[in-house]
Structure 1
Amino acid sequence: MTRPIAVVTGASSGIGRATARKLAAEGFEVVCAARRTERVEQLAAEIDGRAVTCDVTKADDVAALAAAAGDRVALLVANAGGAIGAEFIADADLSEWRAMYETNVLGVAATIQALLPALTAARGTIITIGSVAGMVAYEGGAGYCGVKAAVHSLMMSLRLELWDQPVRVCEIDPGMVASDEFSLVRFHGDAEKAANVYAGVRNPLTQEDVADCVAFAATCPEHVNIDQLVVRPRAQAAAHKLYREDA
């Protein structure tokens, strides 16, 4: 039998990689898309999927991804994104804010635009990976909180715009996730700062936990739309209220 096609952006690491593996186990043929060619090729070989080198901020790459995915796409997981920097507004490097907006917002919008005809043809599902950071601000988070709030608005608008189309529009907003690269990238490779994010927190979310949420939303009956799924570790009562055992 022909497997339904799922496209996962940002599949070279973290939540994207875990999601590709989970969807493959659920029976999807996964198109693994990311900038790092060697990594997505290795992942695609592991899960019997396909690899596409794609920087979602480049129009030609996104067009090539849509062409490679084909004319019927059952699922798009627009995951490519991330945080850069945690400085206060007074000290922020605005070029980092622009880079975050390009990937997290414009990259998501461009990917949806390119794949929407194929998603409509397949009565498909669009899932974005947002963040609880898009729901509440915190010190040093203005740039990242801002782009994730923009993603939330994008998805709310899209759901209204596609109200008469056979396409589901879903948003998954994780809290603290112990990712292999997220905090390391955010703190410009400073491993100590990255590790301190999780210090004293028993059982933060794993990348696989979020992948499970993606699979749940993607495999619900066709008439069921998970508009927004907020998922946090039990230790995180809210974005700003976190229990640390050594605190």
Structure 2
Amino acid sequence: MLGLPIDIEALRYPRGSMAVVTGASGALGAEITRQLIARDVFVVATYRTRPPAELPKGSLWERFDTADPATADRLRLVTEDLPHRLQAVFACAGAPSSKKTVADTEPGEFEAVYQANVVSFTAAWRALAARARYDGASVLAVGSDAGRAARAGSGPYSAAKAALECVVTTLAKEEAVHRVRVNLVAPSLIDSPLARTVMAAKGVTDPDAYLAGLPWGRPLALDEVAAACIDLATASQWAYASGQVFPLQAAL
């Protein structure tokens, strides 16, 4: 089966706005999905391995894997068949690196991290482009401050996020003729289970002390990053912005 069975009740949701959230099974994607549903936006959410145990009402979950082109075809067909107006696409799929030095990193890791962070975005866009152009949707990709910080031990991840920035700014220029806005938000460390895993890979033995040493003495919260993403993608005051990289970090 390419995706979960289509919930007929979900399709009876009021014919208002719709958003697509790729990587919705991750912490940030899940929070964006939750906040969108709370705003009465119908969400087509994608996952790669498994969906959440309880599917939120007001959402439709589809498997999407860049290694399986059939899942992209399914995503395209589903979004084109839904009666809602596609307001925004949130690209949240991604993966960290092992935090090894470049000398100690296998070439395959560079490729895998690039696939997860960059190819996942381009593959999703190929599936959604026609519908997004028709509805004049906004696209918001989630990058990272690592795309510019280039910290030691983050070679594959920093390179992938830098490449994602380049793809986003290129896409914004290509899609302007269709009145599609494309932007990227680049947050610093977000408080999430993945962040704890990354800190452990970096050799952090006291996560609480590490987080207390960050600007303002804390990491970013999932809800504040999700709210910023939704605002940048959908609020009228950002309607002129396209091809922009919005950093979410404290300049301290």
> What TM-score range do you get, normalising by the shorter chain?
0.7 to 0.9
Superposition deviation, residue 78 in structure 1:
1.0
Are 1:34 and 1:52, in contact at CA under 8 Å, matched by a contact in 2?
yes
Whether 2:25 is the aligned partner of 1:12: answer: yes
Alpha-carbon separation, structure 1, partners of 2:181 and 2:153: 34
Alpha-carbon separation, structure 2, partners of 1:104 and 1:230: 17
- CA shift in 2, pair 1:225/1:184, >3 Å: same
Superposition deviation, residue 47 in structure 1:
4.1
- CA shift in 2, pair 1:199/1:61, >3 Å: farther
Residue-pair matches, total? 232
Whether 2:240 is the aligned partner of 1:224: answer: yes
**Structure 1 portions without partners, runs of 5+:** 238-247
Give the alignment partner of residue 228 of structure 2, picking from 203, 213, 216.
213
The secondary structure found in structure 1 opposite 2:162 is helix
TM-score in terms of structure 2 length: 0.83
The secondary structure found in structure 2 opposite 1:51 is strand
Whether 2:63 is the aligned partner of 1:53: answer: yes
Identity of aligned residues (%): 25
- CA shift in 2, pair 1:17/1:84, >3 Å: same
Are 1:37 and 1:52, in contact at CA under 8 Å, matched by a contact in 2?
no
Give the alignment partner of residue 33 of structure 1, picking from 46, 49, 58.
46
Are 2:211 and 2:218, in contact at CA under 8 Å, matched by a contact in 1?
no
Matched residue type, 2:34: R
Give the alignment partner of residue 77 of structure 1, picking from 67, 90, 96.
90
Alpha-carbon separation, structure 1, partners of 2:137 and 2:174: 15
The secondary structure found in structure 1 opposite 2:86 is coil
The secondary structure found in structure 2 opposite 1:74 is strand
Q: Aligned residue for 1:241?
A: none
Superposition deviation, residue 164 in structure 1:
1.5
Runs of 4+ in 1 over 4 A off after TM superposition: 185-188, 190-197
Are 1:14 and 1:182, in contact at CA under 8 Å, matched by a contact in 2?
no
Give the alignment partner of residue 62 of structure 1, picking from 52, 57, 72.
72
TM-score in terms of structure 1 length: 0.84
Matched residue type, 2:72: V
**Structure 2 portions without partners, runs of 5+:** 1-13
Whether 2:149 is the aligned partner of 1:133: answer: no
- CA shift in 2, pair 1:20/1:176, >3 Å: same
Matched ranges for 1:97-246 at <5 A:
97-184=110-197, 198=211, 200-201=213-214, 202-221=217-236, 223-225=239-241, 227-232=244-249, 234=250, 237=252
- CA shift in 2, pair 1:191/1:17, >3 Å: farther
Give the alignment partner of residue 92 of structure 1, picking from 105, 111, 125.
105
Alpha-carbon separation, structure 1, partners of 2:80 and 2:64: 15
Are 1:57 and 1:107, in contact at CA under 8 Å, matched by a contact in 2?
no
Are 1:82 and 1:182, in contact at CA under 8 Å, matched by a contact in 2?
no
Are 1:126 and 1:167, in contact at CA under 8 Å, matched by a contact in 2?
yes
